[in-house]
Structures are given as structure tokens and as C-alpha cells.
Copies of this chain bind each other. A is one copy, B any other.
């Protein structure tokens, strides 16, 4: 057995890193900052992908695939975007290796195989996609163009953490083109909404929808919508963003269309994305000192069955009951695994499934056979119960729904308890240091104040909530007038 996890109170960051590795979700690779997503972690990501993909298609989007590489001349065409990503680009300069004359059997870069133009490994695909859209859009009949891509991207981050910040990560990026500004804004809002619905209903993570301030906006966007979640250590995590890009990319890549009046106009754009970072949000929202806790919607196995036996005969009898349960649960579309490996003791299996966050564990022993019962254990509450076999399926079905709801409510209570309104900067700093979480405060609307607060406290404006109530007040730092509160927090 592997040793116990470091607890959250002991060292939150260590707890996270250990959990990711011990629950077999991901690990660091031989490539600086790049992770290996292990089968258990990838199975969870696949469930996220499947649900998101369904939601994208239901809202009229189609998938496509664009090149991994962006020629430098295209990359630099939209200047703000290029500037925003220039410092973290992996760059392909050569296209061939050759035998190294100095090291027998080894290779070196062939100096004669230098590319005429360097290729940037995409950190995001606006440039290559808008350069392509120029050929696809001639008239209003070609609009809206609603496309999504599932892909890997590379951003050369200096400090990386599994799932939360990695040099290569997996994501989806939507890129849409519209006739009017209003339509593009509506699309950006719609997709931010899709993300919020997905986070809350599927991942059981409560989120706040808002707008980014200018300094936190996506490079090249006119407006960035976001969903912000709160982790158990009181730090915020940006879980998804949806950008209204105005006509910036259309102008940079000369994408015009003939409108209904026959006049040429630049196209309006959005882009939106979520990534394997969601895995980090998932882990840090629900898990505990025993390991991962998974909402049933995302659990590769929603139920695991473990036989408790001494003799071959006992096992055979249990196998029979277990196989019936398997069949019944599967017929209800409940994913279930029967773990009757004889290389592991029940205790080790219990520990593994606890660590891996399987929502429900069913144990069946000889006594259960006699009594027509099973023992059922909830991962989220760590409570156990004895259930008659006769209504097991119903119980499992109800419990899974209950766990899904309970996880969301628990996270919501925590989040709501950690939004604190403060009226002055002393209070601001004190709440930030003692309680953490979101701080709801008035701000004078300037970059300078935002920057100053960040310098002094490391807290940034996470968003201007969409559901903000108007409320006159004074800036928590400068005392200048303000019309509404914004949410500050330290963030991942």
C-alpha cells in the first residue's frame, strides 16, 4: 500500500500533487512542463469531452481540425494577440536530423535543414484559423460559421503544475464568425453560459459568470467572459473563457463578406475554450484528505463491487450475486466494475477506490449472502449502510443522484460562505489573509488601481460579475467613486 496522503491543512499544494499522482491521473514526463495523462485521468477527461461535444453540437457547432503549426508571419499578424503569446512559444526551426559525426549512433540537428520561415507550435489557433476563414467566407450566406476544434496547444510556462498549468495541454477552442456585432456578443455569452451549465450540472462546480477587466482580457479580444470557481484553499480558478473578438482578427487577416445590402464588411468574431485545467478544478473542488471525490457524472466507474471471501466456494457464491448486480446496474446505464482480483486484499481495494474517488462501493461477504443484503459505502460522506439486495438498484440509482446534488451543494455553500464584502483596504487585506475566497469590493475602474492592489496583495480582479447589482460606493483602495462591486481573489 502507498502511504497516506498529505492532508490539505498540512500542505495544500503537496496534497494536490500527491493526489494527482497517487490516484493515477497524471504524472510529469521527461519533457519539461509536459504531463502524461494516465488512463484513469484520461477516462475522466473523455467524459468531459463527450458531454461538452454534445453541448457544442446541440448549439449548432461543428468540429474541424486546423494545423498544429503557425508560420511566424501569420502569427504576428494580429499584433496584440502575438504580443500576448510571444514570450511562451515553442518554435520549430529545422526539419531534419542527421548522424552526429562526433557521437557514433547519435543524431544532431541538420544545419542544412533550416526552415525559411519559423513555425510556431500553436498556443491558440486564431491566426491559422482566421487565415483559413478568409477563403471560406464571401457572403452573409456563409455566416454564421460555427466551428470547434479539439486539440493540443503549447505555452512555454516556466512554473508548471499537473493539469493546472502545463507547457502542453489538451483543450477545445471554438472559433466563430458572424454578420453583426450583436450576434457575435450573443455567441460569446451563449458559450460562456454553456460552460457554466457544464461546470455546475455536470462537474458539480458552482461558478460565477463575469467579464474580465481590460488587463486580464485575452490578447486580441474586445471583451472576455469567464466562469470563475473557488477552490478549497480559498483561491479562485478560471475554469473557462469566451471572447468577443470584435473585428480584430477579421481586419488582421482581411476577412470580409458581402452583407445583405451587397456591401463589403469585416466579419465579427468569437473564440472560447476550456482545457484539461478543468481536471484541476474538479480535483480541488471535491476531493478530501482520503483522496479524489468524483461526481457520478464524471466517474469512470460509478460503482465498484468487492467480494469478501475466504474460500473458493464463498467466492463462487458471491460471483453469482455480483454478476446479477452487474447486469442490473448496466441495464440502467450505471457503470460498474467487479473487482475480484485475487492478488489484492479487500482492504487494499477499498483504499484504492477511496483514493480514486469511486462514488459507491458495494461489499459482499458470506453474511450478506445469508441475509440477502450488501454493504454500500458512499465516497463523499464516507458513510456505510446495509441494504437488502431486493431494492439495491433503486438505492444505487437514488444515491448517485443524491451524491451529485450533495457535491454541488457542498461546494456552493463553501463558495457562498467565502464571498466577503469589504468596505476598506484594511479589511480587504485582513480577509484575504485570514479567510481567503472572493472579496467583493468597490473599485475605481482604472488599470493603475488594479495593478497596485495586485502588487500589494497578489489578489487580482477575477471578474465583474454579470449579475452585478448597481450599488454606489467608493473604491476600496483610492476612495474614488464606483458604481458596482467586483470580485477580487488570489488565483491559480
Q: Is A366 an interface residue (CB 8 A)?
A: no
Complex partner residue of A95 from B68, B69, B90, B95, CB under 8 angstroms = B90
What chain B residues lie within 8 Å of A31 (beta carbons)?
Answer: 67, 69-71, 119, 128
Q: Are A86 and B68 in contact (CB under 8 A)?
A: no
Q: Is A392 an interface residue (CB 8 A)?
A: no
- Residues of A in contact, count (CB < 8 Å): 64
Q: Is A121 an interface residue (CB 8 A)?
A: yes
Seen from chain A, the residues whose Cβ lies within 8 Å of a Cβ on chain B are 27, 29-31, 34-39, 42-43, 46, 62-72, 74-76, 79, 82, 86-99, 105-107, 109, 118-121, 128, 131-132, 135, 141, 147, 151-152, 154, 156, 168, 170, 343
Q: Bound complex: CA of A84 vs CA of B348, how far in Å?
A: 45
What chain B residues lie within 8 Å of A62 (beta carbons)?
Answer: 39, 42-43
- CB contact under 8 A between A38 and B64, given known A82-B107, A109-B91, A119-B90: yes
Sample of 13 A–B contacts (CB below 8 Å): A30-B71, A34-B69, A35-B67, A36-B66, A36-B67, A38-B64, A67-B168, A68-B168, A79-B105, A82-B97, A86-B96, A89-B96, A152-B152
Q: Bound complex: CA of A121 vs CA of B72, how far in Å?
A: 17
Whose C-beta in chain B lies nearest to the C-beta of A121? B92
Q: Bound complex: CA of A96 vs CA of B128, how far in Å?
A: 19
What chain B residues lie within 8 Å of A343 (beta carbons)?
Answer: 141
Whose C-beta in chain B lies nearest to the C-beta of A38? B64
Q: Are B93 and A97 in contact (CB under 8 A)?
A: no
Q: How far is the CB of A92 from chain B (nearest CB, A)?
A: 5
- CB contact under 8 A between A39 and B68, given known A29-B132, A86-B107, A97-B86: no
**What DSSP secondary structure best describes chain A's contact surface?**
mixed
What chain B residues lie within 8 Å of A109 (beta carbons)?
Answer: 91, 93, 118
Q: How far is the CB of A40 from chain B (nearest CB, A)?
A: 8
Whose C-beta in chain B lies nearest to the C-beta of A85? B97
What chain B residues lie within 8 Å of A64 (beta carbons)?
Answer: 36-39, 42
Q: Bound complex: CA of A475 vs CA of B126, how far in Å?
A: 57
Complex partner residue of A66 from B29, B96, B118, CB under 8 angstroms = B29
What chain B residues lie within 8 Å of A69 (beta carbons)?
Answer: 31, 34, 90, 168
Q: How far is the CB of A155 from chain B (nearest CB, A)?
A: 10
Q: Are A86 and B98 in contact (CB under 8 A)?
A: yes
Q: How far is the CB of A139 from chain B (nearest CB, A)?
A: 10
Q: How far is the CB of A128 from chain B (nearest CB, A)?
A: 7
What chain B residues lie within 8 Å of A132 (beta carbons)?
Answer: 27, 29-30, 36
Complex partner residue of A36 from B65, B94, B119, CB under 8 angstroms = B65
Q: Are A67 and B29 in contact (CB under 8 A)?
A: yes
What chain B residues lie within 8 Å of A89 (beta carbons)?
Answer: 95-97
Whose C-beta in chain B lies nearest to the C-beta of A100? B76
What chain B residues lie within 8 Å of A75 (beta carbons)?
Answer: 97, 107
Whose C-beta in chain B lies nearest to the C-beta of A29? B67
Q: How far is the CB of A426 from chain B (nearest CB, A)?
A: 41
What chain B residues lie within 8 Å of A170 (beta carbons)?
Answer: 65
Complex partner residue of A128 from B30, B87, B154, CB under 8 angstroms = B30
Q: Are B152 and A96 in contact (CB under 8 A)?
A: no
Q: How far is the CB of A172 from chain B (nearest CB, A)?
A: 13
What chain B residues lie within 8 Å of A97 (beta carbons)?
Answer: 72, 75, 82, 86-87, 89, 91, 120
Q: Bound complex: CA of A156 vs CA of B76, how far in Å?
A: 24
Q: How far is the CB of A273 from chain B (nearest CB, A)?
A: 17
Whose C-beta in chain B lies nearest to the C-beta of A86? B97
Q: Bound complex: CA of A170 vs CA of B66, how far in Å?
A: 11
Q: Are B34 and A68 in contact (CB under 8 A)?
A: yes
Q: Bound complex: CA of A128 vs CA of B168, how far in Å?
A: 14
Q: How far is the CB of A340 from chain B (nearest CB, A)?
A: 15
- CB contact under 8 A between A95 and B86, given known A69-B34, A76-B106, A79-B105: no
Q: Bound complex: CA of A99 vs CA of B94, how far in Å?
A: 21
Whose C-beta in chain B lies nearest to the C-beta of A69? B31
Q: Bound complex: CA of A120 vs CA of B106, how far in Å?
A: 14
Q: Bound complex: CA of A97 vs CA of B106, how far in Å?
A: 29
Q: How far is the CB of A14 from chain B (nearest CB, A)?
A: 20
Q: How far is the CB of A343 from chain B (nearest CB, A)?
A: 6
Q: Bound complex: CA of A241 vs CA of B151, how far in Å?
A: 24
Q: How far is the CB of A58 from chain B (nearest CB, A)?
A: 14
Q: Bound complex: CA of A30 vs CA of B98, how far in Å?
A: 27
Q: Bound complex: CA of A128 vs CA of B97, how far in Å?
A: 17
Q: Bound complex: CA of A132 vs CA of B82, how far in Å?
A: 34
